[in-house]
Amino acid sequence: MGGEVKRAKESWESTVLAGWLEENPESRSSFETKSGMSLDRLYTPAADEPDYLSRLNFPGQFPFTRGVTPNGYRSKPWVMGQYSGYGSAEEANERFRYLIEQGQTGFSIALDLPTQIGLDSDDPAACGEVGRVGVAIDSLEDVESLLRGIPWHKVRQIRTTANAISPIVAALFIASAQKNGIDPNSISVLIQNDVLKEYIGRGTFIFPPQPSVKLAVDVIEYCAAHLPNWTPMAICGYHIRDSGSTAVQEVAFTFANAIAYIEEALSRGVSIDAFAPKLYAFLGSDIDLLEEVAKFRAARRIWAHLLKERFGAKDPQSSRLNIFGYTLGSALTAQQPVNNLMRVTIAALAAVLGGVQTLATSSYDEAVCLPTQESVTLSLRTQQIIAAESGILGTVDPLGGSYAIESLTDEIEAQVLQVLKRIDQQGGAVNCIESGIIQNEVSEAAYALQKRIETGDRKLIGVNVYATTEKSRIPIFSINDDMEERQISRLRALKSRRNDRALNSCLLSIQRAARNNENLIPSMIEAVKEYATIGEICGVLRDVYGSHIDSTEF
C-alpha cells in the first residue's frame, strides 16, 4: 500500500473510526465468512492512487463515496420497511402491526389515489378508487385509527408517500401525537414531500409547480424550527426511474428538483445546515447490480460536493446523503410472477451493496395485485436473509475498489453533472418541468427501453424468453367490496358531528395564510384538530393557487 493512503487509513482508524466505536460500543469487533475467513473492516488499494482520497476517501468522510458512516452495517443493518396500506385505516393498522411483529423496523404508509390528490372519499371523483392502491385517509380520525396500538419502541422510522398534500399530512401526524400526549419530535417521521417528481413521473399533483414548491418548503421550514428529528423531504427519483428513465436521469432530475427546494428554503432565511442533514434521497434499486451499486455511490459523492461547494454547507452532516432504497416495481412482471422473487433479491442486494440507510422490498405479486400477507412477509424475509446470512455486512463498501464499480461510479457522476449543468442553463428544474423538457426526456428513455424489450435485445425471463402459455396460479389479494361504502359512511358521520363554526374559522385562517404567503403548517394543525378533511383543505388551496393541467398530455 502506498505511503499516503496507508497513513490516511491509520489516521482514519485512530480518529474517525475510534470515535464512532466509542459512541457505539455495541459494534461487533470481528466478522468471518461462512468458511471462517476473517473479514477486514475496510479494503483499500494495493498501490497508492494520487486522487484516491479526493475521489473516494474512507467511509464516513467527505465525499462519502464509500458510505456515510465509518462502520457501515457492522453495528446494525439498514432500516427494513415495506410499502404497505390498503382499504381502511383499521385494515392497514392490522397489516402494520403484523409486519412489526415479524421484525420490520419501519413502515411506509401507502395512501390511496383520492387521498394523494386531495379528494375526500365521498367526492364523486373518488368513486371506485377509495382504498384501492393504499389506505384512505380523510381526516385526523383516520390517522388515529391508523396508528392505534403501534408499538413505538419497535419502530425506527415511519414513512409516508404524501407529496402534493405533504403539509396537511405533516399537520395530521403532529396533531395526532399532541392529542395523545406525545412529543411529535420524539417520533421518527419521514415525509416524501417531493412534489416536483409528480409532474415528471407519477401525476399525483394538484396545484401548479411554483405554489407546490412553496408548500413543500413550508414543511422543511417548519421541521427545521420545531421538529429537527423529522425528515421533511425525501427527494425522489424512484418514480422517475419507474417511469422508464435511465439511472443517470434518475439521479440528475432528482438532484435538480432538490436544488429548487433548497434555493426556496434559503430564500426564506433558513440555514442550509438547519435542514440538509435530515434530507433523504428516495431512489429505486433495479436489477442491473453493478450499475445500481455504482449509482448509489456516485449519488453520495455528487451530493457531497453539491452541498459543500454550491450551497456552502459547513456541517459535515449536510453533505452526507442518506438514501432510502426501494426495489423497482417496474422490473417485476405479471408473467411468471414467482420469478420476481429472484428479481427483488438481486435489486435488494444491489441497494445493500450500495450502502442505503433504509430499504423497502417489492412483493413478487405486485405486478398482479396488491401484496398478500404471505408475499409481503416473504419480501421482508428477503431483507432479513441478506442481513443475517449473506455475510456482506461484515465489511464497509464491499465492492469498493472493484475496477468495474469504480469506473461505473465515475461515469455516472460525470453524466449526471452534465445533465445538471444543462438544466441550470435552461432555468432550473421548475422551468424544465413547466416546458415539458424533463418529461419528454423520460418518455424517450422509456420508449427506448421498451423497444429493446420488444426486439429481445433486453431479455425478460418469462416475457420475451422462456415464456409459457400457462396462467399464473398465485393467490390474488382483493379489497373488501363494502370497504368504500363503510369509509364514506364514517366520513359523513364525522362531518355531521363536527363544530362547524370552529372548523370554518380554521379554514379561513388557512386561506388567509396562503394569500399572505405564510407558512401553512400552524394553521393546518389547528384545522385538522377540528377534523377538517384533506379534501376541504385542498379545496381552500385550489381557490388560492388554482389547479395544474399537464400540457404535455395534449
Which residues lie closer than 8 Å to 207 by C-beta, 6 or more apart? 164, 215, 541, 542, 545, 546, 547, 548
From CA 118, how far away is CA 112, in angstroms rounded?
10
Residue-wise pLDDT for 171-182, tens only, equals 999 999 999 888
Task: Give whole-number Cα distances, 430 to 213, 218, 239, 260, 261, in Å.
Answer: 9, 17, 17, 7, 10
Neighbours of 385 (CB within 10 A): 12
Contact by Cβ (8 Å): 429, 196: yes
Tell how strand 358-360 and strand 189-191 pair up: unpaired
Residue-wise pLDDT for 478-491, tens only, equals 777 788 999 999 99
Residue-wise pLDDT for 413-468, tens only, equals 999 999 999 999 999 999 999 999 999 999 999 999 999 899 998 899 999 999 98
DSSP 477-541: ----TTHHHHHHHHHHHHHHHS-HHHHHHHHHHHHHHHHTT---HHHHHHHHHTT--HHHHHHHH
**Nearest Cα to Cα of residue 331 among 356, 354, 301, 361:** 361
Is 7 within the bounds of a domain? no
216: pLDDT strictly greater than 70: yes
From CA 105, how far away is CA 498, in angstroms rounded?
36
**Residue 551, pLDDT score:** 65
Residue-wise pLDDT for 181-202, tens only, equals 889 998 888 899 999 999 998 8
49: pLDDT strictly greater than 70: no
Give the residue, 495 or 370, on which the prediction is more confident.
Answer: 495
Which residues lie closer than 8 Å to 31 by C-beta, 6 or more apart? 38, 39, 74, 391, 393, 394, 395
Contact by Cβ (8 Å): 545, 514: yes
Contact by Cβ (8 Å): 190, 160: yes
Quote the cell numbers at residue 290.
Answer: 453493478
User: Three-class SS of residue 135?
Assistant: strand
Residue-wise pLDDT for 279-299, tens only, equals 999 999 999 999 999 999 999
> If phi over 0 gives left and psi between -120 and 50 gives alpha, with beta otherwise, what is residue 246?
beta
Task: Give whole-number Cα distances, 254 to 251, 429, 479, in Å.
Answer: 5, 9, 34
Is 514 within the bounds of a domain? no
46: pLDDT strictly greater than 80: no
Structural domain for 424, as ranges: 79-455
Contact by Cβ (8 Å): 201, 156: no
Residue-wise pLDDT for 55-104, tens only, equals 889 999 999 999 999 999 998 899 887 666 667 788 888 878 887 888 87
268: pLDDT strictly greater than 80: yes
Task: Give whole-number Cα distances, 230 to 275, 424, 529, 550, in Å.
Answer: 10, 30, 20, 32
From CA 225, how far away is CA 47, in angstroms rounded?
48
35: pLDDT strictly greater than 60: no
Dihedral Cα 372, 377, 380, 384, nearest 10 deg: -160
**Residue 475, pLDDT score:** 81
Neighbours of 338 (CB within 10 A): 12
Is 471 within the bounds of a domain? no
Neighbours of 166 (CB within 10 A): 25
> How many domains would you assign to the chain?
1
Is 189 within the bounds of a domain? yes
Is 114 within the bounds of a domain? yes
Distance between start and end Cα atoms, the chain = 60
Q: What's the sign of the alpha-carbon dihedral 116, 122, 123, 126? A: positive
From CA 290, how far away is CA 295, in angstroms rounded?
9
Quote the cell numbers at residue 202.
Answer: 407519477
The residue assigned the cell 468458511 is 35
Is 492 within the bounds of a domain? no
**Residue 202, pLDDT score:** 86
DSSP 232-279: --EEE-HHHHHTT--HHHHHHHHHHHHHHHHHHHHHTT--HHHHGGG-
pLDDT > 70: percent of the chain: 96
554: pLDDT strictly greater than 50: no
Is 256 within the bounds of a domain? yes
Quote the cell numbers at residue 227.
Answer: 421538529
Is 25 within the bounds of a domain? no
From CA 325, how far away is CA 149, in angstroms rounded?
27
DSSP 391-428: -GGGSSSTTTT-HHHHHHHHHHHHHHHHHHHHHHHTT-
User: Residue 150: what are its φ and ψ, rounded to 5°?
Assistant: -70, 125
pLDDT, mean of residues 494-521: 97
276: pLDDT strictly greater than 70: yes
Q: What is the 3-state secondary structure (H, E, C) of 316-379?
A: HHHHCCEEEEEECHHHCCCCCHHHHHHHHHHHHHHHHHCCCCEEECCCCCCCCCCCCHHHHHHH
Q: What's the sign of the alpha-carbon dihedral 280, 281, 287, 290? A: negative
1: pLDDT strictly greater than 60: no
pLDDT, mean of residues 192-219: 96
**Nearest Cα to Cα of residue 169 among 239, 105, 232, 229:** 232
Residue-wise pLDDT for 109-162, tens only, equals 889 999 999 999 999 999 999 988 888 999 999 999 988 888 777 777 788 888
**Residue 368, pLDDT score:** 87
- DSSP lists the bridge partners of residue 189 as 158
From CA 59, how far away is CA 33, in angstroms rounded?
21
pLDDT, mean of residues 199-220: 96
The CATH number covering residue 103 comes to 3.20.20.240
Quote the cell numbers at residue 506.
Answer: 380554521
34: pLDDT strictly greater than 70: no
**Nearest Cα to Cα of residue 210 among 256, 260, 163:** 260
Contact by Cβ (8 Å): 502, 523: no
Quote the cell numbers at residue 542.
Answer: 385550489
From CA 319, how far away is CA 165, in angstroms rounded?
28
2: pLDDT strictly greater than 90: no
